[in-house]
């Protein structure tokens, strides 16, 4: 366990998480964390984020089928900077 100190940075109070802890939890600057307080303790929990592939993997394959409207939209030429 590490002892951390709360510091002031601009208008925010911050702590620094040691690199070893970030590495072991596979976190990086910008990783979302859920902050909660329980029994007078601050608890930071990594928020699990799913990739598009992971979300789609759990979807029924029947729902992923292209509709007639989807196919028509895909054949429509671009009119701006879509790509």
The per-residue pLDDT for range 29-63, each reduced to its tens digit, is 999 999 999 999 999 999 988 888 888 888 888 77
| Pair type for strands 33-38 and 7-9 | unpaired
- The reported pTM is 0.56
As given in the structure block, the two tokens for residue 59 are 């979807």
CB-based contact 22:43 (threshold 8 Å): no
> How many other C-beta atoms can be found within 10 angstroms of the C-beta atom of residue 51?
8
As given in the structure block, the two tokens for residue 83 are 């790509």
CATH number of the 7-46 domain: 2.10.260
CB-based contact 31:46 (threshold 8 Å): yes
Residue 24 has pLDDT above 70, yes or no: yes
CA–CA separation, 83 vs 70, rounded Å?
17
pLDDT band at 83 (very low <50, low <70, confident <90, very high): low
Backbone angles phi, psi at 61, to 5 degrees: -60, -30
């Amino acid at each position: 366990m590490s002892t951390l100190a709360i510091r002031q940075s601009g208008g925010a109070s911050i702590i620094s998480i040691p690199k070893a802890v970030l590495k072991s939890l596979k976190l990086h600057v910008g990783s979302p964390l859920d902050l909660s307080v329980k029994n007078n303790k601050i608890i930071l929990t990594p928020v699990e984020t799913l990739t598009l592939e992971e979300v789609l993997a759990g979807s029924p394959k029947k729902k992923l089928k292209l509709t007639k409207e989807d196919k028509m939209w895909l054949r429509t030429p671009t009119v701006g900077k879509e790509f």
